[in-house]
Amino acid sequence: MKHLILAAALLGFTANTSLAQGSSWPAPPTATEVQTLKSDLLATKTSFAANITGNKKTKAEADAKSLMRMMSRHVVGTRYAAENSSTQRATLMQHMIELEAYYAAFQRKADNVMGNGADLVAAADDFYNHF
């Protein structure tokens, strides 16, 4: 939880500083980029589940890190989409908050990949299902 609060504070501070200097939000990811990220997330999630089942600790830990990176990219992309949308801003911000909660649930358990394997697979499934 502490990491999530710090990340949100840093993102808010960075965003406010950049916007105060006259910058605008970066363009949101294109539909192709989002679809590529979703298919990469599915492939990594499948590999992660197989590595957990097969007791391949090193590969499972690498997959967990990749999943966290991809989840983070999607949360940030959703934020950019919200900031660049005048009509769907509230809906996209709510979706981003939900995604952050799924990401945080995954991240909390990622310290012990093999011990929390089933919970991590379930958390990755939750994130993917709300992509």
What confidence score (pLDDT) does residue 36 get? 96
**Mean pLDDT, rounded, for 55-66:** 96
User: For residue 123, which of 52, 30, 36 has the smallest C-alpha distance?
Assistant: 52
- Reported as a single tens digit per residue, the pLDDT across 112-122 is 999 999 999 99
Q: How far is CA 124 from CA 17, 61, 95, in A?
A: 33, 14, 16
- Reported as a single tens digit per residue, the pLDDT across 31-54 is 999 999 999 999 999 999 999 999
Question: What is the enclosing helix (H) or strand (E) of 85?
Answer: none
Position 3 pLDDT exceeds 80:
no
26 with 15: CB under 8 angstroms?
A: no
Could you state, in order of their start, the residue ranges of all structural domains in the chain? 28-129
pTM value is 0.78
**Mean pLDDT, rounded, for 60-81:** 95
What confidence score (pLDDT) does residue 78 get? 93
